[in-house]
Amino acid sequence: MEINKEIERRRTFAIISHPDAGKTTLTEKLLLFGGAIHVAGAVKSNKIKKTATSDWMEIEKQRGISVATSVMGFEYEGYKINILDTPGHQDFAEDTFRTLTAVDSVIIVVDAAKGVERQTRRLMEVCRMRNTPVIIFVNKMDREGKDPFDILDELEKELQIRVRPLSWPINIGAKFKGVYNIYEHTLDLFTPSKQTVTERIQLSDINSPEIDRLVGEDDATKLREDMELIDGVYPEFDKSEYLKGEEAPVFFGSALNTFGVKELLDCFVRIAPSPKPVETKEREVRPEEPEFSGFVFKIHANMDPNHRSCIAFVKVCSGKFERNVNYKHMRSGKMMRFSAPTAFMAQKKSVVDEAYPGDIVGLPDTGNFKIGDTLTAGENLNFKGLPSFSPEMFKYIENDDPMKAKQLDKGIRQLMDEGVAQMFTSQFNGRKIIGTVGQLQFEVIQYRLLHEYGAQCRWEPISLYKACWIESDDKDQLEQFKKRKHQFMATDKEGRDVFMADSNYVLQMAQKDFPAIKFHFSSEF
């Protein structure tokens, strides 16, 4: 059947990394191999440089660029590949968390010299929660870096996943000679000046004297010793373990030098999963079902403040999505028809007539959609799995222009629906608390409220540690807790109880004193 063939050839994934590890460079090289772009340097870096945190032009520029690069689709050897871009700046980590709910697998880029950094650790937690299969690319092997065995240990410890090298570097930095490709049994030689072609030598045996000739006796001996150690320590690569998210294959290379990238891509298309069944509150939805269903994982507001038009990004989960067909918007119960849905090929946006599971369609919208909304062909389904995570920074938001209270309310509501930050309402004093993962988000909110809604807000400090969604089967204890912690209780956008702990100590004491209450750090439990 046509739909099965289309599903089977789709690979929808995200590249995640700590800023500067090489995500943009790797993305660009993958697009080059897919023929989606023709020259290096075509993918604009979508990151806001650290020095420019208050540079509004940069933020606006970033918003503009990131629409174009939100999804990059291309064809490669019969596969349809969709790369979902994630914001480079760590203050927008929440955006990345949500994007991870729309991918079927992930490639993690790690800098060989810096190893596993903070942002990578956090993003991996989200992958682990969802058992997302991950492949790791250790980048910048052309620079001095850590010992590869130490890197593997670090990956295993810091990312809490079993690793299995599928390529192995021969020396590093200035002496980097290339990699032995364990997956394909080839020797891939590195020449720094060469930009796109890897010299590849097919090997029947790791003991072949050919290796000594090509990389020198010392490095050849070291390679053989390393390989023996790897075979002794790491079990054979097991694709099923990878697909369960329990084992991560590791590749070494240099994105800047286009080295090891094609090898990564070739292995990726072969082992990475095509779209899988997705859970809804009602039942499991299989991609090959004939009826369309999908969910909104990202909303992008238009930069033109005079028109409140947005693009809602929908991941197709089942069936075929078609232009000009009526679909049901579950939250409102309304039927909707889209005459200009867009798809994303390379860096171009164009109107599409149809899309298959794994694809992302952009739906022009004027404020109907919220993050997490479900669209179906008519059946009542609601996709699960778009959790909000506990923010890390909190501030009271106050109106600074009494004449514009309505505008402020509307602006806050819409920005929250778009997923810019999370809002909690204090049950104690009714004040609104905005929670973010980074300082920059507060600045963005203030700026956008003023420029898009004409409303002025002011931030007031509040000292909080974490927001915890609470629940309990023991109704008495729950009531007792809420009474005791009245000052620190708030409600989230869905009206659920949230405990705003002001310190780790207070939280630990609360957990100890109220054992029947469960404290959750994400809204999905």
Please report how close the Cβ of residue 506 comes to ligand G4P at its closest, in angstroms.
36
> Residue 315 has which token pair?
């991941």
Task: Report yes or no: 521 and 435 within 8 Å, Cβ to Cβ.
Answer: no
Amino acid at 50: K
Q: At a CB cut-off of 8 Å and minimum separation 6, what does 377 contact? A: 291, 292, 293, 319, 325, 327, 328
Alpha-carbon gap, residue 293 to 312, rounded angstroms: 15
DSSP 403: G
- Specify which residues 189 forms β-bridges with: 178, 199
Please report how close the Cβ of residue 43 comes to ligand G4P at its closest, in angstroms.
9
Surface-to-core class of residue 26, CB atoms within 10 Å of its CB (0-12 exposed, 13-18 middle, 19+ buried): buried
> Residue 150 has which token pair?
């130490």
Alpha-carbon gap, residue 211 to 173, rounded angstroms: 20
Q: Which is nearer to ligand G4P, 50 or 270 (CB)?
A: 50
Task: Report yes or no: 393 and 431 within 8 Å, Cβ to Cβ.
Answer: no
For residue 427, which of 361, 492, 364 has the smallest C-alpha distance? 492
Buried b (16+ CB within 10 A) or exposed e, 383-422: bebbbbbbbebbbbbebeeeebeebbebbbebbbbbbbbb
Chain residues in the site for ligand G4P (CB under 6 A): 17, 19-25, 45, 47, 88, 139-140, 142-143, 254-257
Q: Which is nearer to ligand G4P, 141 or 450 (CB)?
A: 141
Please report how close the Cβ of residue 519 comes to ligand G4P at its closest, in angstroms.
34
Please report how close the Cβ of residue 142 comes to ligand G4P at its closest, in angstroms.
5
Please report how close the Cβ of residue 19 comes to ligand G4P at its closest, in angstroms.
4
Please report how close the Cβ of residue 486 comes to ligand G4P at its closest, in angstroms.
44
Please report how close the Cβ of residue 85 comes to ligand G4P at its closest, in angstroms.
10
Q: Which is nearer to ligand G4P, 48 or 161 (CB)?
A: 48
> What 3 state SS string does 135-196 have?
EEEEECCCCCCCCHHHHHHHHHHHHCCEEEECEEEECCHHHCCEEEECCCCEEEECCCCCCC
Q: Which is nearer to ligand G4P, 169 or 341 (CB)?
A: 169
Q: Which is nearer to ligand G4P, 30 or 352 (CB)?
A: 30
Q: Which is nearer to ligand G4P, 25 or 274 (CB)?
A: 25
Task: Report yes or no: 16 and 109 within 8 Å, Cβ to Cβ.
Answer: yes
Please report how close the Cβ of residue 14 comes to ligand G4P at its closest, in angstroms.
12
Please report how close the Cβ of residue 112 comes to ligand G4P at its closest, in angstroms.
8
Q: Which is nearer to ligand G4P, 19 or 277 (CB)?
A: 19
Q: Which is nearer to ligand G4P, 252 or 383 (CB)?
A: 252
Helix, coil or strand: residue 245: coil
Q: Which is nearer to ligand G4P, 48 or 412 (CB)?
A: 48
